[in-house]
Chains A and B, each alone.
Chain A
Amino acid sequence: MIYKIISVIDKIRPFKKVSAHCDIPCKIYDPITSQIAVLTMIRLVDLIEEIEKKDSLTYKDHAQISRLTAQKEEHGHKVKDEIRVIWGDYIKDPQIEKYPEIHELSHSIMLAASKAKQNIDKSATLDLLEKVNRFAEIFWDSKNIKTFKAVSPYPPEQELVYPDLKK
């Protein structure tokens, strides 16, 4: 009853709106989640390779490799999911016209993420990062926000594209 009364008032004299932002069409997108997921994949490869350097592996080492590999798989899925949402929901005709590479780039990220998931191969994860960074550059440019590159202040200390939000 109260809700209905307020709804009527809202129609006559609309209240200000506020968003909580979940994955609903509220125009809130950010490629940083996918970028961090790629960094995580790179870090996991580093950790796996460290274990592999040992002369002999214990059952604990095997268990740790399994765990790290599973996490790498999960973050590979995250990269794909995050890019797909931005590509599918945010990218529309004006962006496609301005950035004709966007379809091919998005598809190449899907393939690169699969390759990085399937293999323990640092070069594959670095290739994925390069593509996701390019995607981030395009994304922020489409919002007229300048970007800069900086090395992440934590392992694996790789270069990321960040938005420059200072006015």
Chain B
Amino acid sequence: MSPSIDKDSFVLVKSLKKKKLNKFFIFRHKIYGRLVKKLIKIDSSNNFWFEGEHQSSISKKQVGPIKERDILGQIIFSISKSSIKFHL
């Protein structure tokens, strides 16, 4: 999830009722398993759309719509070898 979250980071995740756009979330995906991506859109059918930041990331279309029940939580902060970042 670089550049915001470095590879091999540890992250603290909290389940928050309100899902804010442009925040990082962890969710379950049918094909890809447990993913971390940035929330970019909530559509009229209450589907949540995510995308990565890195140019090699799978696209929004590949991730597809995600239901709220599959969202495990928002990343509160991350700790990498070189930095500690808050993502609130």
Instruction: Using CB atoms and an 8 Å cutoff, list the residues of chain A in contact with chain B.
Output: 2-3, 6-7, 10, 15-24, 28, 30, 32-33, 36, 163, 165
Chain B contact residues, majority secondary structure: loop
Contact yes or no, A18 B11, CB < 8 A:
yes
Which residues does chain B contribute within 8 Å of A17, judged by CB atoms? 34
A-B contact count (CB 8 A): 58
Within 8 A of A (CB), among B51-85: 52, 54, 56-59, 61-62, 79-81, 84
In this assembly, does B86 line the interface, its C-beta being within 8 Å of a C-beta of chain A? no
Contact yes or no, A33 B59, CB < 8 A:
yes
- Cross-chain pairs A/B with CB under 8 angstroms, 8 sampled: A18-B35, A20-B36, A20-B57, A21-B35, A21-B58, A22-B54, A30-B31, A163-B31
Residue of A nearest to B1 (CB): A20
Contact of B30 among A32, A33, A165 (CB under 8 A): A165
